[in-house]
Amino acid sequence: KVEQILNAKASVQEFIQRTHRHFIGGEWVPAASGETMDDIDPSTRGVLTQVARGDSADVDRAVAAAAQAFRDKAWRHMSPQARGVLMWKLADLMAAHLEELAQIDSLDMGMPLRQAQYGTVPMAIDHMRYMAGWATKIEGETIPVSAGPFFNYTVRQPVGVVGAIIPWNFPLLMAIWKLGAALAVGCTVVLKPAEQSPLSVLRLAELITEAGFPPGVINIVTGYGPEAGAALVAHPGVNKIAFTGSTEVGKSIMRTAADRMARVSLELGGKSPNIICADANLKRAISGSMLGIFMNQGEVCSAGSRIYVAREIYDEALEQMATYAKNMRVGMALDAKTQMGPVVSAEQYERVLGYITKGRQEGATVIAGGGAMPAAGSGFFIEPTVFAQVTDTMTIAQEEIFGPVAAVMPFDTVDEVIERANVSAYGLAAGVWTENVRTAHYLAQNLEAGTVWVNAYHVYDAAAPWGGFKQSGLGREMGHHALELYTETKDVWISLQ
Ligand code: ADP
């Protein structure tokens, strides 16, 4: 019995309790196998609802629908402007249902309602609008060739059917990051949401129908990674795979895709360094760094989980971090006062608690939190945890925890901290806190990360590219860079003789 759902809007309660099926070719269809899977509310551990458990039979059907829609005139010959208008209409519908979408994500994966309502759902809407604007701007070039009397030009064409696989940490936003660019250039999509949090994407499908997208342009198959996800990756009809998730699964996707040279873009894990210099505005640096690690329960690929603090201010910074962490309001995701919700699942709960135990065993000291938090409710609650006396070789300083656990380490010089920050196999994001412009630029130039924030953390914009160096991924989503991932460039030679 899930009591939290009773606090949701009536329309959300009604939606969640419905029978949830795949969305294929514009229709709602049950899994070919007839199987379903439970969807859990992490704030209470209660079963929210059931959704279809897809496998290769469902994926076959969805890819066929997407391939047909890609060939069909309704989409292929739709003018870029009309495509943009449809996308904008979808964004308007999302805006009209903003609170509902926010409540669904919050119930489904535990993100605080306030964050969903004022952060991630508005960002998803902005993103759709930004990408709608690109639909009319996918331009080619004319090239002055010297090979002879030729007119040479390029056109950029949609790559075809996209298989999009997304994680559970920002369900709606991750879906829109992929759909936005894919639709702008004229691709069709089969989207597989994470098994932990499929609901907002299913609600989105209803809005997609209402907006008037031709059937089959966007299809959704729910299911587990090794079943529905793996089938989508291996499907010969999928021209491009867009994946956000763990580095381990990302590597296996790249291997599978290699056989047929399917295009791949990957947004993977991180262990992002966040560097607080001695001359930083400490108050801003502490609150920004705590947001950096605790936002979304630390379940963010770019979480600032390795915090390096200049030795002169290390003790003072630790004290302020501990106070901040202890004062955070942890509670039910749907409660508007909640700053940090539960982690997403029993599996994640055990993993994160395991890392905390490991941190203690390896000799780090807990200065805030350090365990489960049953007082916050019956769900998967973990205290905002800060470790001091961490060394670079400890597990908690090296592995992605994907939970509310900060490892805080002192440093002496800027060059030393650059070297230590860059040792990681990951390279997604980095934070820098300093009032010195030279130090800021020097660190920004030298850190191996796809994004560097200076005197800020966790800021995102539809127009700014996003992606990782090294094992944090391949390709850049967001901004005009994302369009590259979904188009092929064709070069045309016209003889003038
Ligand atoms: P996490 O550990 O954060 O759940 P995963 O990489 O396991 O990250 O999951 C991200 C997404 O990838 C989810 O939608 C999941 O179902 C899917 N997935 C998991 N394993 C596979 C796989 N072998 N092939 C394709 N997709 C997968």
Helical pair 199-211 and 171-185, crossing angle rounded to 10 deg:
40
Reported in sequence order, the residue ranges of 25-110 that DSSP labels E, i.e. its strands, are 27-29, 36-40, 47-52
Ligand 1 atom closest to the Cα of residue 250 is: 6
Helices 121-134 and 171-185 cross at an angle (nearest 10°) of 10
* The one-letter amino acid at 173: L
User: What kind and span of H or E run contains 191?
Assistant: strand 188-192
Q: Which of 163, 161, 214, 206 is nearest to 187 (CA)?
A: 161
Q: What Å distances lie between residue 436 and 278, 286, 310, 433, CA to CA?
A: 10, 17, 14, 9
Which residues line the pocket of ligand 1, CB cutoff 6 A? 165-167, 192, 194-195, 224-226, 229-230, 233, 245-246, 249, 252
pLDDT at 1 over 50: no
What pLDDT was estimated at residue 244?
A: 98
Nearest atom in ligand 1 to the alpha carbon of residue 246 is 6
For tokens 């059917």, name the residue: 161
Mean pLDDT score, 187-193: 99
51: left (phi over 0), alpha (psi -120 to 50) or beta: beta
**60 closest CA partner among 32, 35, 19, 20:** 32
Ligand 1 atom with least separation from CA of 402: 3
Is 211 in contact with 199 (CB distance < 8 Å)?
Answer: no
Instruction: Give 4's pLDDT tier (boundaries 50, 70, 90).
Output: confident
pLDDT tens across 416-459, in order? 999 999 999 999 999 999 999 999 999 999 999 999 999 999 99
Q: Ligand 1: which residue has its CA nearest to atom 23?
A: 226
CA distances from 254 to 159, 375, 402 (A): 17, 43, 22
Ligand 1 centroid from CA 61, angstroms: 21
Contact indicator for 48, 2 with CB cutoff of 8 Å: yes
CB 232 within 8 A of CB 165: yes
Ordered DSSP codes for 130-160: HHHHHTT-----EE---SSSEEEEEEEEE--
What is residue 396's three-state secondary structure? Answer: helix
Task: For residue range 5-40, list pLDDT tens digits in order.
Answer: 889 999 999 999 999 999 999 999 999 999 999 999
Q: Indicate the average pLDDT of the chain.
A: 98
The predicted model gives 326-330 an average pLDDT of 98
CB 187 within 8 A of CB 4: no
CA of 226 relative to ligand 1 center, distance in Å: 7
Q: Please name the residue whose Cα sits nearest to atom 24 of ligand 1.
A: 230
The answer, yes or no, to whether residue 3 has pLDDT greater than 80, is no
Per-residue pLDDT of 43-53, as tens digits, reads 999 999 999 99
Testing ligand 1's pocket by substitution, the residue of 220, 249, 251 carrying the most ligand atoms inside 8 A of its CB is 249
* CA-proximal residue: ligand 1, atom 7 (nearest): 246
How far apart are the C-alpha atoms of 141 and 117, rounded to whole Å?
Answer: 41
Q: Are strands 142-143 and 150-158 parallel, antiparallel or unpaired?
A: antiparallel
> E-assigned strands of 62-149?
142-143
Residue 205 CA, ligand 1 centroid: distance in Å: 21
> What pLDDT, on the 0 to 100 scale, is given for residue 351?
98
Q: pLDDT tens digit string along 215-250? A: 999 999 999 999 999 999 999 999 999 999 999 999
Which ligand 1 atom is nearest residue 169's CA? 3
**267 counts as catalytic:** yes
Please tell me the residue having the least CA distance from ligand 1 atom 17. 225
Our mutation pick for probing the ligand 1 site, out of 37, 53, 108, 165, counting the most ligand atoms within 8 A of Cβ, is 165
Q: Which among 182, 192, 268, 239 is positioned nearest to 37, based on CA atoms?
A: 192
Contact at 8 Å (CB) between 124 and 93? no
Q: How far apart are CA 274 and CA 457, in angstroms?
A: 9
Q: Residue 423 Cα, ligand 1 centroid: separation in angstroms?
A: 26
Look at residues 86, 25, 484 and name the one whose alpha carbon lies nearest to residue 218. 25
The single residue of 267, 299, 383, 448 carrying the catalytic annotation is 267
Which residue in this structure is represented by tokens 């129908």?
Answer: 209
Quick one: which atom of ligand 1 is closest to the CA of 223? Answer: 16
Atom 14, ligand 1: which residue's CA is nearest? 194
Average pLDDT over residues 94-121: 98
Query: What distance in Å separates the CA atoms of residue 408 and residue 389, rounded to the nearest whole number?
Result: 7
Whether the predicted pLDDT of 2 surpasses 70: no
Nearest CA-CA partner of 130 in 142, 122, 118: 122
What is the percentage of the chain residues whose pLDDT exceeds 70?
100
List, as one string, the DSSP characters of 262-286. -EEEEE-----EEEE-TTS-HHHHH
Query: In ligand 1, which atom is closest to the CA atom of 194?
Result: 14
Q: How far is the CA of 492 from the centre of ligand 1 (A)?
A: 39
Q: Name which residue sits closest to atom 4 of ligand 1, judged by CA.
A: 167
What is the Å distance from ligand 1's center to 200 Cα?
A: 18
Give the pLDDT mean for 102-108.
98
Q: What angle do CA 472, 478, 482 make, to 5 degrees?
A: 85
Cα of 245 vs centre of ligand 1, distance in Å, is: 6
Closest C-alpha residue for ligand 1 atom 11: 167
